[in-house]
Amino acid sequence: LMLSGIGPRNHLKHLGIKVVKDLRVGENLQDHMLMTGVLLSFNYSKPVKSADENMFEYLMRSSGKFTNIGFLSSSMFIDVDGDDHPDIQFHNVDIDQNHEEDVKMLTMMSYNLRRDIVQSYIDANK
């Protein structure tokens, strides 16, 4: 954004960039460390619905899997040092059994895990 002229006026002028919009770009930039934790696998006998079945249930009955926002629906923030601001965020991720593409999307694309670790998640999802 700053190369296009959107950012703090003084900083842009110092760099010789024409100011298009004076905004506080990058002032709240934070680095978020990620650590994968416990992997749980459950053997359910309940059949998994297809995406088409889930969409039909949502459109016709306003119920089912598409009525929430996925793994963020079971996310939590915890304050560990007592300063009334959360320090740690937990994501509890639920992936249906035998959904290799979902596992790859989460582990490779979102978390950029090594292929051998990704394969262990895929194997656990079978």
Q: State the pLDDT at residue 74.
A: 72
C-alpha pair distances (Å), 41 with each of 8, 26, 48? 48, 40, 15
pLDDT digits (tens, 9 = 90+) for 50-85: 778 888 999 999 998 778 766 556 778 889 888 888
Q: What percent of the chain has a predicted confidence (pLDDT) above 70? A: 93
Q: State the pLDDT at residue 76.
A: 83
Q: Is-above-0.95 flag for pTM?
A: no
Question: Is 3 inside any structural domain?
Answer: yes
Question: Is 6 inside any structural domain?
Answer: yes
Q: State the pLDDT at residue 24.
A: 92
Question: Is 91 inside any structural domain?
Answer: no
Structural domain range at position 15? 1-26
Q: Which residue has the tokens 């249930």?
A: 57
Question: Is 22 inside any structural domain?
Answer: yes
pLDDT digits (tens, 9 = 90+) for 94-104: 777 788 888 88
- List the one residue out of 97, 96, 106 whose CA is nearest residue 36: 106
Q: What percent of the chain has a predicted confidence (pLDDT) above 90? A: 24
Q: State the pLDDT at residue 102.
A: 82
37 vs 72 pLDDT, higher one: 37
* Total domain count, the chain: 1
Question: Is 104 inside any structural domain?
Answer: no
As a whole number, the mean pLDDT across the chain is 83
Question: What's the CA gap between 59 and 66, in Å, rounded?
Answer: 9
Q: State the pLDDT at residue 70.
A: 63
Question: Is 16 inside any structural domain?
Answer: yes
Burial level of 77, CB count in 10 A (0-12/13-18/19+)? Answer: exposed
